[in-house]
Amino acid sequence: MMENELCFPQLLNNSCKKPMPSQSDTMFVHILLSSISLLTSTLNLLVIISISHFRQLHSPTNLLILSLAVSDLLVGLLLMPVEILFTEACWFLGDLMCALYYVVVFIITSSSVGNMVLISIDRYLAICDPLRYTTRVTLGRTRICVCLCWICSVLYNSLILQDFLRQPDSQNSCYGECVVVLNYITGTVDFVFTFIGPITVIIVLYMRVFMVAVSQAQAVRPYIAAVTFQRSVSVTAKKSELKAARTLGVVIAVFLICFCPYYSPSLVGQDIEDSSSSSPFVVWLLNFNSCLNPVIYAFFYPWFRKSIKLIVTLKILHPDSCDAKILER
């Protein structure tokens, strides 16, 4: 009976123990988590196809959404399936895959945070400096910023995890465990650069955005009935920018709710530990953010719902489908 509770029964002295939940509970958890993984991958793939295919959606803001969707897709395709394995509390893939897994986890997390900061900067410039927005924020510059975001994420996390990469099993208490522990100093640095710093920037920029949005709405309201056609187009454009800011503000709020529990140990001065025995709820809440983002787009963005319809009905295979009118005028 004892051997059945070990991850590796042949290693009686060194093997980790595994919990013995009922088969029905295990089956339910696996089906639920697999469904979330599939839904996350599918929805984010639809976002990527929509923005990549339809020319009307080729804008700096949507390019940032595309980059965020790529990181969310990787969560659904790579991270969530591995987290399902973690529900067994045993790691069977070896030290190399353990190291590779955590490198990918940290890179995707950092890139997601970086994308959120870029989105906040984009909305700040669009709302607070609209006259110079189109000249300052171009597709070319946005591409460069997105590439730098991913490159910096790779370099930064390779540095943070250098000791772990040299010896992936150094923190394991038994054979069959996959764990990385950031000590207090490294964890604090990562906490500041990956959470506190970016979150501070995001909150400050969005407070400024909504202050300007409220003042614009109050200034425009008395003159709406008397505007000319040209002025009406300008007001419509402003409303469009404000709606985008509101939608992306919801994305960022959900992001904060999902990420805060993961970083809560650093708030009380503890080491940050990721392992097969860490809280499944906290890890899956972090990952579930990747599923919620495209759901928010579907709820707030008519263009996303319209593009999904064209994709599902295979109308994107028609000639010149990339020139379809997706945006409402």
* pLDDT tens for the 329 residues of the chain, in order: 444 577 777 666 777 777 666 666 678 888 888 999 999 999 999 999 999 999 999 999 999 999 999 999 999 999 888 888 776 667 778 888 888 888 998 999 899 989 989 988 998 898 888 888 889 999 999 999 999 999 999 999 999 888 888 887 777 777 777 888 777 777 778 888 888 898 889 888 888 887 777 676 666 555 544 444 444 444 444 566 666 667 767 877 888 888 777 776 555 545 555 544 456 777 788 888 888 888 888 778 888 889 999 999 988 888 888 888 887 65
Task: Report yes or no on 16 lying in a domain.
Answer: no
Per the DSSP assignment, residues forming a β-bridge with 275 are 179
Domain enclosing residue 182, as ranges: 26-323
Task: Report yes or no on 225 lying in a domain.
Answer: yes
Q: Count the domains in the chain.
A: 1
Task: Report yes or no on 298 lying in a domain.
Answer: yes
Would you state the structure tokens that stand for residue 53, as one six-digit string? 């295919």
Would you state the structure tokens that stand for residue 146, as one six-digit string? 């997105």
Task: Report yes or no on 1 lying in a domain.
Answer: no
Task: Report yes or no on 8 lying in a domain.
Answer: no
Task: Report yes or no on 329 lying in a domain.
Answer: no
Q: What is the pTM of this model?
A: 0.82
Contacts of 283 (CB under 8 A, 6+ apart): 83, 86, 262, 274
Q: Note whether 118 and 145 are within 8 A (CB).
A: yes
Task: Report yes or no on 264 lying in a domain.
Answer: yes
- Compute how many other C-beta atoms are within 10 angstroms of the C-beta atom of residue 24: 8
> Taking the CA atoms of the chain, what radius of gyration do you get in angstroms?
23
CATH of the domain at 86: 1.20.1070.10
- Compute how many other C-beta atoms are within 10 angstroms of the C-beta atom of residue 211: 12
Task: Report yes or no on 270 lying in a domain.
Answer: yes
